[in-house]
Chain A
Amino acid sequence: GAVVSQHPSWVICKSGTSVKIECRSLDFQATTMFWYRQFPKQSLMLMATSNEGSKATYEQGVEKDKFLINHASLTLSTLTVTSAHPEDSSFYICSAFNPSGGEYNEQFFGPGTRLTVL
């Protein structure tokens, strides 16, 4: 149980275009999902917390108008990178919080999406 998928697994786009990444919890309802960005040889940096039915909470320094997050259902959150530029090239990973997962707060990670902006 507690499987999280992401789509696509990788994407290459031209500078200035927008890219949408989907994060799905396959066997549980996730009221909260998290979006991370990981540059090569660096740690995971939290970008935003996505709550079902409400606006996402962005971390300091993350542009909410550039990284649009929509959490329209309990099993799906999407991250749209708008007007992507080469510096947005990174590994984007989502995680989902399973409220039925006990008090440990374990988050379940998706497989990641590698974005390359040319």
Chain B
Amino acid sequence: GENVEQHPSTLSVQEGDSAVIKCTYSDSASNYFPWYKQELGKRPQLIIDIRSNVGEKKDQRIAVTLNKTAKHFSLHITETQPEDSAVYFCAASVTGTASKLTFGTGTRLQVTL
């Protein structure tokens, strides 16, 4: 089955700096890669996703890049703000009929003032 690794496990940046979180996956059939933000005790919230036919996608301060050949994808947050502090999870799945998501281990991002 799919295996998703995520690094780093914790990340501390100063407000205004950029944050980068990286994930690798093992199943070459995976073609859908969402990123979730989870605050303590809350549900995961989809913040951005990318499909394998696209190399990069951007939404305001958030961007995701995908290297299908190397089987890795990254989340980039620019101009970080304290409210970006949370745990971020990457995930991978195969598009189709209700395919299950395999999650990475999570990155705890702390944005300091």
Task: Report the stretch among B12-20, B43-51, B62-70 that lies at the interface.
Answer: B43-51
Complexed CA–CA distance, A110 and B45 (Å) = 10
Q: Say whether B104 contacts A105, CB under 8 Å.
A: no
Say yes or no: is A109 at the interface (Cβ < 8 Å to chain B).
yes
Indicate whether B100 reaches chain A with its CB closer than 8 angstroms: yes
Asked if A105 meets B89 with Cβ closer than 8 Å, knowing A44-B44, A99-B98, the reply is no
Chain A positions within 8 Å of B96 at CB level: 105
Decide if A90 is an interface residue (CB 8 Å cutoff).
Answer: no
Contact with B along A75-118 (1 / 0, CB 8 A): 00000000000000001010101010001111101111010000
Instruction: Tell me if A54 counts as interface (CB < 8 A to partner B).
Output: no
User: Are A105 and B103 also in contact (CB < 8 A) when A44-B44, A112-B43 are?
Assistant: no
Whether the Cβ atoms of A105 and B105 lie closer than 8 Å is: no
A32 to B100, CA, bound (A): 10
Report whether A111 and B42 are in contact in the complex, using a CB–CB cutoff of 8 Å. Answer: yes
Choose from B41, B99, B106 the contact partner of A105 (Cβ within 8 Å): B99
| A43 engages B100 (CB within 8 Å) | no
A34 adjacent to chain B (CB < 8 Å): yes
Let me know if A46 and B100 touch, CB within 8 A.
Answer: yes
Q: Could you say which residues of chain A place their CB within 8 Å of the CB of B51?
A: 104
Given contacts A104-B51, A109-B43, A112-B43, contact A42 B100 (CB under 8 A): no
Task: Report the separation of the CA atoms of residues A112 and B95 in the bound assembly, to the nearest whole angstrom.
Answer: 25
- Determine whether the beta carbon of A34 is less than 8 Å from that of B100: yes
Is B110 located at the chain interface by the 8 A CB criterion? Answer: no
Which A residues form the contact surface with B (CB < 8 A)?
A: 31-32, 34, 42-46, 49, 91, 93, 95, 97, 99, 103-107, 109-112, 114
29 contacts between A and B (CB under 8 A): A31-B98, A34-B100, A43-B89, A43-B103, A43-B106, A44-B103, A45-B103, A46-B100, A46-B101, A49-B98, A49-B100, A91-B41, A95-B101, A97-B98, A103-B95, A104-B32, A104-B51, A104-B95, A105-B32, A105-B93, A105-B94, A105-B96, A106-B49, A107-B101, A109-B44, A111-B43, A112-B42, A112-B43, A114-B41
